[in-house]
């Protein structure tokens, strides 16, 4: 599976609100334009899984696309605002074609967003408010604020809907366009009108955009001699390296138990998910991938994990998605540890990024569904924790974390 090297990340139509950058998700890998020219079928797929090439050869392509080019000419001849932006039309046509598949995780990313997204996954700096968002819903919806970001400091929470920006109503406006409206340079302000589940009236939040340094692994010793690691995202090989370094440091203190915090972790790379799960699972299946023709690929633990024996609790919530659900689902199915928190997001598919020619960005295409070790699919349903613990508005306001408290309690017992 050479295509599953770790170049570009993320799932869902989840995007990080940075200067045009997308983030979070669960991606198998990336295919360059040159690779596509040499091997037009997707990696891990057979020729019968890519029937579009056959269809194109069996039909008169000129006749098939005649209405498209007719529309193109009519726009240039008749549209009131001239000259039209040909590049914008081309990108819009690509997006429209992908939308016709009716798969929310198959999408287009423009070259500017692609470049900044790559910066995010490699851990470099970028600008924005620092939040994972879902562009596929009625309103742009917060999946999770990034730790220490302006979005988190402003109190944004999973499920928050952005219904207006700087006083302008966003009703009926495409989620991607709304996302772009939130973007802006560090130091500038944006006023978001938020509709929050359980809160009667919408309210305004003013956020100062900032330069954000991505860090994926945070660790410390908690009370009662419990080790704690928070994983922000499943990035490139540096994420696994940093996790192993943190595990060595914390395990040297002989902790009584370990908490892996995957809350608000929107996902990442497939390789990273398997490698990180292997740090906590000694042996066995971590996940399956199932393709359209029924083929199933099995991913197993590496057997080289550093924390495969220590008592373990995994924290999850509504912002735990994709790769986070792979790891949490494996730990739950194999009885390696308990899940504590709230039901996860529910992202059960795998995407591959495909670079477009002439540096025109990339398209991500859903190539497979994934299953937990027990064969469960979580698409649209998520994982139900072994111990469900809610965090209330009052908890947030008081700086309390009952989910973390419960995890420490379970490990202390």
Catalytic residues: 322, 333, 347
In what helix (H) or strand (E) does residue 210 lie, and over which residues does it extend? strand 210-213
Spatial CA neighbour of 337 closest among 308, 366, 360, 361:
308
Residues 351-372: b if buried by 16+ CB within 10 A, e if exposed: bbbbbbeeebbbbbbbbbebbb
Q: Using CB atoms within 10 A of its CB, is residue 157 exposed (0-12), middle (13-18) or buried (19+)? A: buried
Number of residues that this document lists for the chain: 413
CB contact at 8 A, 176 and 96: no
Dihedral over alpha carbons 152, 157, 160, 165 (to 10 degrees): -10
Distance of alpha carbon 278 from alpha carbon 281, whole angstroms: 5
Q: Would you give the end-to-end CA distance of the chain in angstroms?
A: 43
Distance of alpha carbon 253 from alpha carbon 282, whole angstroms: 21
CA dist list (Å): 153 to 66, 149, 193: 53, 6, 16
- Give the SS3 label for residue 91: helix
Distance of alpha carbon 77 from alpha carbon 88, whole angstroms: 17
How far from the centroid of its chain's Cα atoms is residue 320's Cα?
9
How far from the centroid of its chain's Cα atoms is residue 208's Cα?
24
């Amino acid at each position: 599976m050479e295509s599953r090297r770790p170049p570009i990340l993320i799932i869902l139509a989840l995007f990080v609100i940075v200067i045009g950058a997308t983030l979070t998700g669960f991606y198998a890998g990336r295919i360059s334009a040159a690779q596509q020219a040499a091997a037009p079928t997707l990696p891990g797929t057979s020729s019968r899984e890519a029937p579009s090439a056959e269809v194109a050869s069996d039909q008169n392509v000129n006749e098939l696309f005649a209405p498209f080019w007719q529309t193109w000419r009519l726009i240039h001849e008749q549209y009131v605002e001239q000259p039209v932006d040909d590049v914008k039309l081309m990108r819009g046509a690509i997006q429209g074609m992908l939308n016709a598949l009716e798969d929310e995780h198959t999408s287009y990313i423009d070259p500017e967003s692609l470049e900044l997204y790559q910066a995010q996954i490699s851990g470099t700096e970028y600008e924005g408010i620092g939040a994972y968002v879902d562009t596929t819903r009625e309103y742009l919806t917060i999946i999770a604020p990034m730790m220490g970001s302006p979005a988190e400091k402003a109190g944004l929470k999973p499920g928050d809907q952005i219904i207006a920006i700087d006083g302008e109503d966003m009703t009926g406006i495409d989620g991607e366009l709304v996302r772009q409206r939130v973007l802006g340079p560090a130091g500038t302000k944006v006023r978001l009108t938020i509709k929050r589940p359980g809160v009667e009236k919408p309210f305004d939040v003013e956020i100062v955009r900032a330069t954000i340094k991505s860090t994926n692994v945070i660790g410390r010793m908690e009370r009662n001699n419990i080790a704690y690691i928070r994983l922000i995202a499943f990035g490139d090989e540096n994420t696994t390296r940093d996790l192993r370094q943190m595990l060595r440091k914390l395990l040297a203190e002989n902790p009584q138990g370990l908490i892996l915090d995957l809350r608000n972790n929107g996902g990442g790379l497939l390789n990273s998910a398997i490698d990180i799960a292997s740090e906590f699972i000694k042996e066995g299946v971590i996940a399956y991938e199932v393709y359209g023709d029924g083929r199933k690929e099995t991913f197993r633990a590496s057997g080289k994990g550093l924390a495969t024996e220590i008592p373990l609790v995994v924290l999850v919530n509504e912002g735990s998605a994709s790769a986070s659900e792979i790891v949490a689902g494996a730990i739950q199915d194999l009885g390696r540890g308990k899940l504590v928190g709230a039901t996860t997001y529910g992202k059960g598919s795998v995407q591959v990024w495909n670079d477009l020619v002439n540096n025109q960005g990339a398209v991500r295409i859903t190539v497979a569904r994934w299953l937990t070790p027990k064969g469960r699919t979580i698409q649209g349903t998520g994982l139900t924790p072994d111990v469900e613990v809610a965090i209330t508005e009052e908890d947030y306001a008081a700086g309390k974390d009952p989910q973390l408290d419960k995890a420490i309690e379970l490990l202390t017992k």
